[in-house]
Amino acid sequence: MENKNPKKVSLISLGCAKNLVDSEVLLGGLKHEKFSIISEPSESDIIIINTCGFLDSAREESVDTILEAGELRKSGQVEKLIVMGCFSERYGTELISELPEVDQFFGTSDHAKILSYLTGRPHSKEDPDFYRSLLTPNHYAYLKIAEGCDNGCSFCSIPLMRGLQKSQPLEWNIRQAELLAARGVKEILVIAQDTTSYGWDLQPKSTLHELISHLNNVQGLDWIRLHYAHPAHLHRDMISQFGRLERLVPYIDMPVQHGSDEILKSMRRGLNRDGIKKRIDALRRSCPEIAIRTSIIVGYPGETDADFEQLYKLVEEIEFDRLGVFTYSEEDGTHAAAALKDDIPTQVKYDRMDAIMMLQQDISLMKNEKLIGTIEKVIVDRNSEDGDSIGRTFRDSPEIDNLVVIKGTHPIGEFLNVRITNVSEYELIGVKE
Regarding whether 42 and 18 lie in a shared domain, the answer is yes
Would 203 be classed as within a structural domain?
yes
- Residue 165's Cα: distance from chain center in Å? 17
Co-location of 195 and 119 in the same domain: no
pLDDT bucket at 128, cuts 50 / 70 / 90: very low
Residue 354: how many other CB atoms lie within 10 Å: 12
Find the DSSP H helices in 99-191.
111-119, 158-162, 170-182
Tell me, yes or no, whether 218 and 78 share the same domain. no
Question: What's the mean per-residue pLDDT of the chain?
Answer: 92
Whether residue 162 is found in the same domain as residue 275? yes
Query: What average pLDDT does this structure show over 60-85?
Result: 91
**Are 199 and 335 in the same domain?**
yes
Residue finishing a domain among 77, 98, 128: 128
> What per-residue confidence (pLDDT) applies to 2?
47
pTM of the model: 0.86
Assign residue 381 the CATH number of its domain. 2.40.50.140
As a whole number of angstroms, the distance between CA 380 and CA 225 comes to 16
Last residue of a domain, one of 74, 103, 128: 128
| Cβ(221)–Cβ(173) below 8 Å | no
Distance of CA 388 to the CA centre of its chain: 27
In a domain, 181, yes or no: yes
Percent pLDDT > 70 in the chain is 97
| Owning domain of residue 285 | 135-369
Nearest to 355 by CA among 315, 303, 300, 301: 315
Residue 2 lies in a domain: no
**91 lies in the same domain as 157:** no
| Whole-number percent of the chain with pLDDT over 90 | 73
**Domain final position from 87, 113, 128:** 128
Assigned domain for 145 exists = yes
Give yes or no: residues 41 and 186 share one domain.
Answer: no
pLDDT category at 1 given cuts 50, 70, 90 is very low
**96 in the same domain as 114:** yes
State the average pLDDT over residues 258-268. 97
Same domain, 308 and 404: no
Collapsed DSSP state (helix, strand, coil) of residue 84: strand
Question: Is position 3 within any domain?
Answer: no
CATH classification of the domain holding 340 = 3.80.30.20
Residues 364 and 380 in one domain: no
How far the first Cα of the chain sits from its last, in Å, is: 54
Answer whether residue 74 is part of any domain.
Answer: yes
Q: Round to whole Å and give the CA distance between 399 and 58.
A: 17
Which of 18-27, 218-227, 293-302, 368-377 is predicted least confidently? 18-27
CATH number (domain holding residue 119): 3.40.50.12160
Q: Is residue 1 part of a domain?
A: no
Residue 387 φ then ψ, to 5°: 90, 10
Question: Looking at this protein, which amino acid is placed at residue 307?
Answer: D
CB distance 35 to 71 below 8 Å: no
Shared domain for 301 and 211, answered yes or no, is yes
Q: Which residues contact 344 (CB under 8 A, 6 or more apart)?
A: 299, 300, 301, 303, 328
CA neighbours within 13 Å on the CB side: how many for 236? 3
Residue 80 has pLDDT above 60, yes or no: yes
Co-location of 151 and 291 in the same domain: yes
Three-state secondary-structure class, residue 415: strand
Q: How many domains does the chain have?
A: 3
